[in-house]
Amino acid sequence: MSGRQRSVAAAVHHQRQLSDNPLDMSSSNGRWLQSTGLQHFQSSANDYGYYAGGQGGGGQAARGYQNAQRGNEFFGEPTTPQYGARPTNQRKNNDESEFSPGLLDLHSFDTELLPEIPVSNQLDGPSLFNPSQGQSFDDFEAYNKQPNRSRVLAENLAAEKERMNAVAKIKVVVRKRPLNKKESTKNEEDIVDTHANCLTVHETKLKVDLTAYVEKHEFVFDAVLDEEVSNDEVYRETVEPVVPLIFQRIKATCFAYGQTGSGKTYTMKPLPLKASRDILRLMHHTYRNQGFQLFVSFFEIYGGKLYDLLSERKKLCMREDGKQQVCIVGLQEYRVSDTDAIMELIERGSATRSTGTTGANEESSRSHAILQLAIKKSVEGNQSKPPRLVGKLSFIDLAGSERGADTTDNDKQTRLEGAEINKSLLALKECIRALDNDQGHIPFRGSKLTEVLRDSFMGNSRTVMISCISPSSGSCEHTLNTLRYADRVKSLSKGNASKKDVSSSTMNLRESTKIPLSSALPTPSNFDDDVNEMWTEENDEFDASDYEQDKQMWKKNGKLEPSYNGMAQERIPKPTIQMKSRDMPRPDMKKSNSDDNLNALLQEEEDLVNAHRKQVEDTMNIVKEEMNLLVEADQPGNQLDGYISRLNTILSQKAAGILQLQNRLAHFQKRLREHNVLVSTTGY
């Protein structure tokens, strides 16, 4: 976008890397695999598994650093992995020697943090961590020889602590990607303006008389990164500040959220490597000879199940120990000492990840991928004991969230995936919300995703959320959904007054012929971040008792059980139209001006209706699935006809219910806009 303002201001460096061009990357990746990766692997068995901590000294460190520089192409933009480039037999043999000891139940000791981390007496200057300053290892040698080193060190230590406190518990960053070829071909417009850390979405809407107008939605976030911002800059803005904290017993999580095809994988993929480069630097210098070790693990959550991406998708179990610590039994962790090794692991894991094609992205991630960098330390004086966890940095590339419109052409599997994904996204938000409010209870049981991340949510933690958005007019609704989700996460911060989705129609485009009606017509939304929020146990709308009775009868009959048992209970949610207390406008909102209240209420109402619409549609899909199953299982004596007709009735009731809700919303909004008064949501 011309004349755009760079949002990261002076702190961000603008030097683009050659590899910013994805085309460059694919070729560079190929080059890397050919010329560097495999050779490196063959020649350096020590690079993982048997790295001798700080004993490798400058040589190994320097090599790691050089490797980091050499692998700079990778740090730029993600690459297409070439799993299998390395022969399987060779991989297997090497892998076995690369594993850290005690592969099973590695996390049973992970979750116990070291009681105290001795602070380095060799603390380097703050510039150590800033790669932009271009300091080499030689610079640090020189630094360590300075005569007034102790004073400088003390100052640096204080600065380090200050920096640590200064890193927000939750940081929400938005990244806008450029228009892609498909969008440009369809003449879709860039409707997202960025300015510093503000962002405006220009939504084209239709009035009742079908004249088009543009509604402006303004948002403020911790940072807004536009389409010209490189992955390097994204790293500096998001993960870089939290990296030193993991040496201070902090667990940090960085995740990307956004619609399918919005750039989550593109954004997330380079981050772990960049972070590990900085971690290794800190290990080799600031914390030299302190026995820190770096471990990498990579797994995915697909359909509510865990798979090890570094062990040919071996299925993993999650267990809770006596101390309610979550252990991922069988997850393999690799001890690594240079970035090449990490790069290979990332490539390998990414290639193994579940992907599929959706209407919006040809290679859509269908799983949540979690890459963890764990810093561990040997128990002093006892080398035989496994090292203890110090801190952890988790990178989560969330699966693409998608709407019904995208899934209509897709198969049952894709739709079920979508439901699972939505559920976990909601659960994630709930945990962040609880975390930021310092609530005693973190609802991590809401999904596998949050359960797995339980230890990242507990204690002293940091969260960075990167919301990825498409700029195109065709994705307007998704973009607004993403930004609202991000906005809510942001507004969860105590004392945060950044909720600024100021809906105001500023331009009344009465010459609406200029706007093609097709692009202006509203599309049904059925992605909602609050999908499950409205589903409570108290069901005052949907009486499933008949259905349950029938189910029991058929279960007794024994003929349907294998395919049916458990599915109905899991899949048929209980709808309710009651809002939970947490959905009501927050007290801090009430203090703001009446416009904000009005908008907040409007927003709540819209969310409410969208959630119901989504749920009704989900329910309809579920019932349809059940019907198909029943038809397949139709056998004499099961009396399925009555059951099917009852399901049909439920379907019709749902359809009528949703229409009613939509009408009520339209009416409600009209009144709000006409009278500009607050209307209680009670009784809605």
Ligand X SMILES: Nc1ncnc2c1ncn2[C@@H]1O[C@H](COP(=O)(O)OP(=O)(O)OP(=O)(O)O)[C@@H](O)[C@H]1O
Known binding residues for ATP are 258-265
Indicate the residue among 41 and 266 with the shorter CB distance to ligand X: 266
Which of 7, 60, 108, 265 touches ligand X (CB under 6 A)?
Answer: 265
Indicate the residue among 405 and 584 with the shorter CB distance to ligand X: 405
Indicate the residue among 173 and 616 with the shorter CB distance to ligand X: 173
Q: 522 to each of 210, 249, 401, 564, how far by Cα in Å?
A: 11, 49, 20, 38
In the region spanning residues 6 to 25, those forming contacts with ligand X, defined by CB under 6 A, are 22
Which of 74, 266, 527, 668 touches ligand X (CB under 6 A)?
Answer: 266
Helix (H/G/I), strand (E/B), else coil: 223:
strand
Contact flag: residue 180 with ligand X (CB under 6 A): yes
Measured from the CB of residue 361, what is the shortest distance to ligand X in angstroms? 4
Which of 58, 126, 178, 359 touches ligand X (CB under 6 A)?
Answer: 178
Which of 86, 107, 264, 353 touches ligand X (CB under 6 A)?
Answer: 264
Do 457 and 444 form a contact (C-beta atoms < 8 A)? yes
Contact flag: residue 471 with ligand X (CB under 6 A): no
Q: Which residue is nearest to ligand X (CB)?
A: 400
Which of 332, 364, 414, 619 touches ligand X (CB under 6 A)?
Answer: 364
Contact flag: residue 261 with ligand X (CB under 6 A): yes
In the region spanning residues 376 to 405, those forming contacts with ligand X, defined by CB under 6 A, are 400
Residue type, 319: R
- Cα 490 from Cα 204, distance rounded (Å): 26
Indicate the residue among 370 and 468 with the shorter CB distance to ligand X: 468
- Residue among 219, 258, 157, 152 at smallest CA distance from 481: 258
In the region spanning residues 481 to 510, those forming contacts with ligand X, defined by CB under 6 A, are none
Indicate the residue among 353 and 377 with the shorter CB distance to ligand X: 353
Which of 220, 326, 421, 468 touches ligand X (CB under 6 A)?
Answer: 468
Contact flag: residue 527 with ligand X (CB under 6 A): no
Binding mask 415-454 for ligand X (x = CB under 6 A): ----------------------------------------
Indicate the residue among 27 and 146 with the shorter CB distance to ligand X: 27
Specify the long-range contacts of residues 87-92, CB closer than 8 Å, at least 24 apart.
90/42
Measured from the CB of residue 301, what is the shortest distance to ligand X in angstroms? 14
Cα atoms in the Cβ-side hemisphere of radius 13 Å centred on 663: 6
- Residue among 487, 493, 491, 492 at smallest CA distance from 467: 487
Measured from the CB of residue 259, what is the shortest distance to ligand X in angstroms? 7
Measured from the CB of residue 401, what is the shortest distance to ligand X in angstroms? 7
Residues 6+ apart with CB under 8 A from 571: 419, 622, 625, 626
CA end-to-end span of the chain:
42
Indicate the residue among 365 and 526 with the shorter CB distance to ligand X: 365
Measured from the CB of residue 201, what is the shortest distance to ligand X in angstroms? 17
What is the total count of residues that contact ligand X (CB under 6 A)? 17
Q: Which residues does the annotation place in the binding site?
A: 258-265
| Binding segment (CB under 6 A) for ligand X, from list 126-134, 261-269, 485-493, 614-622 | 261-269
- Cα 329 from Cα 314, distance rounded (Å): 11
Measured from the CB of residue 346, what is the shortest distance to ligand X in angstroms? 15
| Binding segment (CB under 6 A) for ligand X, from list 195-203, 357-365, 483-491, 578-586 | 357-365
Q: Which two tokens stand for residue 218?
A: 């303004």
- Residue among 293, 206, 307 at smallest CA distance from 523: 206
In the region spanning residues 20 to 49, those forming contacts with ligand X, defined by CB under 6 A, are 22
Do 475 and 519 form a contact (C-beta atoms < 8 A)? no
Render 424-492 in DSSP notation, one character per residue.
HHHHHHHHHHHHHTT-S---GGGSHHHHHTHHHHSSSEEEEEEEEE--BGGGHHHHHHHHHHHHHHHHT
Measured from the CB of residue 54, what is the shortest distance to ligand X in angstroms? 37
Measured from the CB of residue 526, what is the shortest distance to ligand X in angstroms? 17
Q: Which two tokens stand for residue 342?
A: 């990490």
Measured from the CB of residue 417, what is the shortest distance to ligand X in angstroms? 11
| Binding segment (CB under 6 A) for ligand X, from list 162-170, 175-183, 313-321, 601-609 | 175-183
Indicate the residue among 86 and 484 with the shorter CB distance to ligand X: 484
Indicate the residue among 123 and 466 with the shorter CB distance to ligand X: 466
Length of the chain as a residue count: 684
Indicate the residue among 16 and 149 with the shorter CB distance to ligand X: 16
> In terms of C-beta density within 10 A (0-12 exposed, 13-18 middle, 19 or more buried), how is residue 333 classed?
buried
Measured from the CB of residue 256, what is the shortest distance to ligand X in angstroms? 7
Is the C-alpha dihedral spanning 481, 487, 489, 491 positive or negative? negative
In the region spanning residues 105 to 134, those forming contacts with ligand X, defined by CB under 6 A, are none
Q: Which residues of 234-269 are buried (b: 16+ CB within 10 A; e: fewer)?
A: bbbbbbbbbbbbbbebbbbbbbbbbbbbbbbbbbbb
Displacement of CA 146 from its chain's centroid (Å): 44
Contact flag: residue 365 with ligand X (CB under 6 A): yes
Do 236 and 271 form a contact (C-beta atoms < 8 A)? no
Residues 6+ apart with CB under 8 A from 260: 358, 360, 361, 364, 400, 401, 402, 406
Measured from the CB of residue 365, what is the shortest distance to ligand X in angstroms? 3
Which of 262, 472, 491, 512 touches ligand X (CB under 6 A)?
Answer: 262
Measured from the CB of residue 625, what is the shortest distance to ligand X in angstroms? 23
Which of 111, 332, 361, 424 touches ligand X (CB under 6 A)?
Answer: 361
| Binding segment (CB under 6 A) for ligand X, from list 137-145, 176-184, 458-466, 533-541 | 176-184
- Cα 230 from Cα 329, distance rounded (Å): 37
Measured from the CB of residue 330, what is the shortest distance to ligand X in angstroms? 26
Sheet holding 504-507, edge to edge: 192-195, 198-206, 212-220, 504-507
In the region spanning residues 221 to 260, those forming contacts with ligand X, defined by CB under 6 A, are 258, 260
Do 647 and 627 form a contact (C-beta atoms < 8 A)? yes
Residues facing 401 on adjacent strands:
259
Q: Which residues of 629-665 are buried (b: 16+ CB within 10 A; e: fewer)?
A: ebeebeeeebebeebbeebeebbeebeebbeebeeeb
Q: Which two tokens stand for residue 184?
A: 């440009």
Q: Would you tell me which residues interact with ligand X (CB under 6 A)?
A: 22, 177-178, 180, 258, 260-266, 361, 364-365, 400, 468
